[in-house]
Amino acid sequence: MIEGRCITCGRGLAEEGCVQFPCPECGYIIKRCNICRSQAAEYKCPECGFEGP
């Protein structure tokens, strides 16, 4: 289980398949739920504005 919420949809991160990783541009920790990951939903880093799938 990862603490926090998905950066894209706001869901909790209690499900299997949720991830956290550093933003490729600034290192801010991005947290994504398994649903947004499987749908390749876009996200935007709140620190630097980097956008990714």
List the pLDDT tens digit at each of the 53 positions of the chain: 789 999 999 999 988 999 999 999 999 999 999 999 999 999 999 999 999 98
H or E stretch including 27?
Answer: none
49 CB burial (10 A radius; 0-12, 13-18, 19+): exposed
Full-model pTM? 0.88
Q: What is the structure's pLDDT at 23? A: 97
Q: In sequence order, what are the beta bridge partners of 30?
A: 21
For position 1, what pLDDT does the model report? Answer: 75
Cβ neighbours of 4 (radius 10 Å) = 11
Q: What tokens appear for 2 in the block?
A: 């990862």
Among residues 33, 29, 28, the alpha carbon closest in space to that of 6 is found at: 33
Q: Is there a contact between 1 and 33 (Cβ–Cβ < 8 Å)? A: no
